[in-house]
Structure 1
Amino acid sequence: MELSQSDLVRELGLYALPLTGSTLLAYGVWQVVHDLRRKDERHVEQRLKEGVGGLGSRNERAARESILRQQRAEASSIARALGRLRFVPRLQRVIEQANLPWVATSMLVNLVGLGAVAYLAMFLLGYGLAWRLVAAALAALAPLGFVWFKRSWRLNKLLNQLPDVFDMMGQALRAGHSLPSAIQVVSQQLPDPCGTEFARVFCEQNLGIKIDQALLNMAERVGLMDVRMFVTAVLIQRTTGGDLAEVLDNIGAVIRERIKLFGQVKALTAEGRLSGWVLFALPFAVFAMEQVINPEYGRVLLDDPRGQKLLIGAIVAQILGLLMIKKIVNIKV
């Protein structure tokens, strides 16, 4: 027996009300637990303030929040359960590189929730299974795309700041400052991302971690070859001795040449990257124009299950083609 629209809405309401109530109850319980845990975090934050009082106010809070975020990522029971999965620590590292106030395990739970909401919304709107799955996948993957974009933007900015970092540290060392003091100067004078990363190094060594280990933590956290090269040079100099200021000047000169060469390569491959984006966007633009001019022309792709499968296959092929073109023009320097 077919249901009228009002009966269908009533039936959906019978399912939606218990689901909404259960969701609100779970959220309330989570909020209480979060507030209880927040008390411990405020206590740790107060201890961090006492331990890193020498930092400049601009990057002090960012360094403390980064340490607290790492503590939250390692302390929860969900983190310990999901931490056995290989991709969870990698996702947490990407989030830290993007300098976002998120935890990988919580983000995964939120992504599942977003996908479920998108799937339910498409179901209520009357779309087929294929479109529901596409909407759920897009809703779940969109935040990941934002994280990767923010990470790439921040690491590129950090790379461009490194020559200034080495110049500043070299001048501080020539003026008679120690290495921790030179790191403090960088954390006070430079903005994020270099200011925040070196502020965390200074914060960690103030809390009792050896300066060598704090630098290794930064190299592992950032993941850039140039930062690893800097940390390796500092560790070798602290073992064998020598003029660290001169070493930093040489590293800064090498990085400046690499940045210049990377800019030239980027200019030479601009046409290929633009062609990739044009080839990716052209089918979608043509399909949108056809829907405006003659909506019935592409109706079979939207209504017929076989057309929906073909459309999803075409979208997947377009994405794979864009990734292949990007891989070809992404020349390592």
Structure 2
Amino acid sequence: EEDQGLRFLQAGTALGTHKGMIKIPVWDCKKNQQASCDLSHRKNMEPVPENDTGQPEWDEESDYRACTYCKDNASEYLKHYRIASWFELIEKTENLASHMIQRAAAFSMQYNGGNLQLMCYPRFTATVDDLMSDLDELEGNLGFVPDLIILDYADILLESGNDERERLDRIWKKMAGMAGKRKVLVVTASQGTRKSLMSKSIKTDQVAEDIRKLAHIDLGIGLNQFVKEDERDERKAMIMRLSVMVKRHGETPSEECFVLQNLGLGQPAMDTYSFLRELADSWALLILTLIFLGVIGWAYRPGSRALHDDAADVPFRNEDPEQSRPEQSRPEQSRNDHARQDGACK
């Protein structure tokens, strides 16, 4: 529990266990690292420092600089950008130990005032029923009703039965039932198979033990760091890939989101990047403009009723608008005439 508390404070205060110059990840371009970019905006003429295996290696003394010009000017240069990461040094003047009391007190005041409750259980000792009982106790004694429950993690909950897959299936069913009964968002984690270690994105058939887990959730997000001998180790590059594996409502997006992180500082998400998102941002205005102009051009084509003011309210109908309107009684017609006159006066 002491280690868990330390990690909890480290994540909440964004302080590591040491101070001084620390290395943080920043976005870079693979063309910049390979010195293969032919644009005048590039930052380097020489490639990034490499180790004996030909992989990029951080060198504090190197003059190499990361380049994100094409990423930052996506409307014109996005097609040239190849996602990569590099590092910069920043100075951290304090660590968790030196300011433990002050930061811990501030963190406690912020989160322990009824907004956050932390419960710890030994592994394979708590059941879903235990969680439900403890939640009932928190609600009855403290009036605490959570909007979000984070469980680390569902697979190590206790459940009867000798068949591992059946045991896991029952756990995940009960978790889904708890979310529905309490009308609360429940977030947990699971693991992938060995095959997932060699995949850039985790597939639905790479969920450990029992794929039926995915049948009980509304949203499944895969977190993966690609590691391959002839490519850069994304763990060392401090890059995490996020992809949507399962989405119960609506279409499942195919794009990936890349996340820079430094877990040593308790920072799981320092910056994010999605190629399709950037592409969409760059083209969205142009596409919407073309659609708008196309609609206007079609509506106001020669012979269109939209060319006449008296048919503006029915621009896409060919019949006489006066005939298409239902007959009105004289009092109602009179009220409408007065309303039009009042509007004209204003």
State TM-score, norm by structure 2: 0.21
| Structure showing the higher strand proportion among its residues | 2
Structure with more relative contact order (C-alpha pairs < 8 Å, separation 6 or more) = 1
| Structure showing the higher helix proportion among its residues | 1
Q: Report the structure number with the largest CA radius of gyration.
A: 2
State TM-score, norm by structure 1: 0.21
